[in-house]
């Protein structure tokens, strides 16, 4: 089991940037496909990005591709999400997630073994 704690959320104007971090504890972090999800008020939780255990492969939802970058530092047990050119529609609670999958790709909530508590990202227009 991996324990996850997100940080780095906040309020930013449209066009701005934020960097989310996810500190992980547990033996399996470095061997897990990790991902970020988000959930806006009144909407279902949706996949944002995933990364292989080596960090060499990544996958993004179409609406964030080219604007968001997922990365990881296994030596620090930390997952990151760099978010640039933010839009009001990016406003949501962002969740770090540890998957039981072995291949990177789009993740579903049913693929997730551990969730963080979430961090709020608000983009004003």
The pLDDT of residue 24 is: 94
Rounded CA separation 83/86 (Å): 7
The pLDDT of residue 28 is: 74
Q: Which of 37, 74, 77, 34 is nearest to 58 (CA)?
A: 34
Which tens digit of pLDDT belongs to each residue from 69-99?
A: 999 999 999 999 999 999 999 999 999 999 9
The pLDDT of residue 7 is: 96
Strands 10-13 and 119-124: parallel
Average pLDDT over residues 2-13: 95
- Mean pLDDT, the chain, whole residue set: 94
């Amino acid at each position: 089991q991996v324990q996850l704690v997100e940080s780095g959320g906040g309020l930013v104007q449209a066009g701005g940037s934020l960097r989310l971090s996810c500190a992980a504890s547990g033996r399996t972090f470095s061997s897990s496909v990790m991902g970020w999800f988000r959930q806006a008020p009144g909407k279902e939780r949706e996949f944002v990005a995933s990364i292989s255990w080596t960090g060499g492969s990544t996958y993004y939802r179409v609406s964030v591709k080219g604007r968001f970058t997922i990365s990881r530092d296994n030596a620090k047990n930390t997952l990151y999400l760099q978010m640039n050119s933010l839009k009001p529609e990016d406003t949501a609670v962002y969740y770090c997630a540890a998957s039981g999958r072995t291949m990177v790709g789009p993740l579903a909530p049913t693929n997730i073994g551990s969730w963080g508590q979430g961090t709020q990202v608000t983009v004003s227009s």
